[in-house]
Amino acid sequence: LPAGLSQWFPALEVLDVSGTGLAEMGAELLSLPCLHTLLAKNNRLGGPGSLPKGLGQAPLARSLRVLNLSGNRFAEVPPAVLRLRGLRSLSLGGNRLHGIPPDIQELQSLEFLYLGGNFITAIPPELAKLPSLRYLVLCDNKIQSIPPQLAQLHSLRSLSLHNNLLTYLPREILNLVHLEELSLRGNPLVVRFVRDLTYNPPSLQELAGRTVKTRNVPYAPSDLPESLVRYLSLASNCPNPKCGGVYFDSCVRQIKFVDFCGKYRLPLMHYLCSPECSSPFSSASQSSTSQSESDSEDEASVAAHRMQKVLLG
């Protein structure tokens, strides 16, 4: 940074030095008492001396609200950054971070935290001690699990976890009652889920068999080869009461959560004859909907209203 910066611009509030090839920022930065936004993206920061000594004690530590150091070479979150107690937005995406320090909890005013595009493998429980955090971006890392403590982030509105190594989510994540956006695409849990629910189009034999069954085409065992008679006997009725169709090998798998003894929510797998056949149905009765299913649908509508966007693919 140029010498005398504070003398030239003593009331400077926003400083953008992004894409300038900076390898370090000097002590001139410390003498800008009004600076609230510092953008230093896409530089060469990250080595020893990249940030000025005394950053955590300077007036800047109280005035700075937005700090963007994305696209640099930091291998760890700089300790001086963790002393910027007035920060509301911190971006360190696209660096070389391998972890999140527990001292992240010191940034009590933080509302936006962007750590995407690093090599982070774990999330410390201390991250859940940020009471004001509204947006948390941890996409494109190597995270394998989510600590249940994350459910304590009661202010969280958006959680981006896509392109990680997650195989499950803790049940406690349902306690994030204000969450409006959850991004999970590109994780093993989603890849397997989507793959398992993939619908394979029926064969010509199945299409013919469905027609025979749904239109009650008469036939006798002597009319058809034994293998076809046996095949037709394997037809399964679609559980959708508004459908009345059948399926043999090709079906749509659908997970439905139902009440069990009015206490537990059990995921049950249902099989539909086509992707379009997704109307409400009951496996217990084809003419009426059970009370537990009704409750399930009411709960689902509430959840859908709260969770405005869930990105799976």
The per-residue pLDDT for 54 is 85
- CB of 312 within 8 A of CB of 184? yes
User: How far from 241 is each of 244, 245, 271, CA to CA, in Å?
Assistant: 6, 9, 13
Give the pLDDT confidence score for residue 211 in this predicted structure.
93
pLDDT-based confidence at residue 201 (cuts at 50, 70, 90): confident
Q: How far apart are CA 51 and CA 24, in angstroms?
A: 6
For the ranges 95-109, 260-274, 287-301, the one whose mean pLDDT is highest: 95-109
Residue 230 in tokens: 């046996």
pLDDT higher at 285 or 243: 243
Instruction: Give the per-residue pLDDT at 283.
Output: 34
Q: Is the per-residue pLDDT at 103 higher than 60?
A: yes
Rounded CA separation 136/269 (Å): 33
Tens of pLDDT along 29-49? 888 888 999 999 999 999 988
CA atoms in the 13 A half-sphere facing the CB of 286: 9
Of 209-213, 233-237, 255-259, the range with the lowest mean pLDDT is 255-259
Q: How many CA atoms lie within 13 A of 268 on its CB side?
A: 18
Sign of CA dihedral 57, 62, 63, 67: positive
Q: What is the pLDDT of residue 228?
A: 92
For 161, the 3-state DSSP assignment is coil
Percent pLDDT > 70 in the chain is 79
Q: Which of 18-32, 97-111, 165-179, 192-206 is least confident?
A: 192-206
- State phi, psi for 227 to the nearest 5 degrees: -65, -35
pLDDT band for position 175 (cuts 50, 70, 90): confident
Task: Give the model's confidence band at 282: pLDDT under 50 very low, under 70 low, under 90 confident, else very high.
Answer: very low
How much is the average pLDDT of 202-217? 92
Task: Please state, in angstroms and rounded to a whole number, the distance separating the CA atoms of residues 64 and 35.
Answer: 6
Check pLDDT > 80 for residue 286: no
pLDDT band at 295 (very low <50, low <70, confident <90, very high): very low
What is the pLDDT at residue 157?
A: 94
The DSSP-derived string for 212-237 is HHHTT----TTTS-HHHHHHHTT-EE
Q: Residue-wise over 118-141: b if at least 16 C-beta within 10 A, else e?
A: bebeebbebbbbbeebbbbbbbbb
Domain spans, the chain = 187-249
Query: What is the structure's pLDDT at 261?
Result: 52
More reliable by pLDDT, 51 or 256: 51
Q: Which of 167, 172, 174, 160 is nearest to 190 (CA)?
A: 167
pLDDT of residue 11: 79
Element (H, E) at 208: helix 204-214
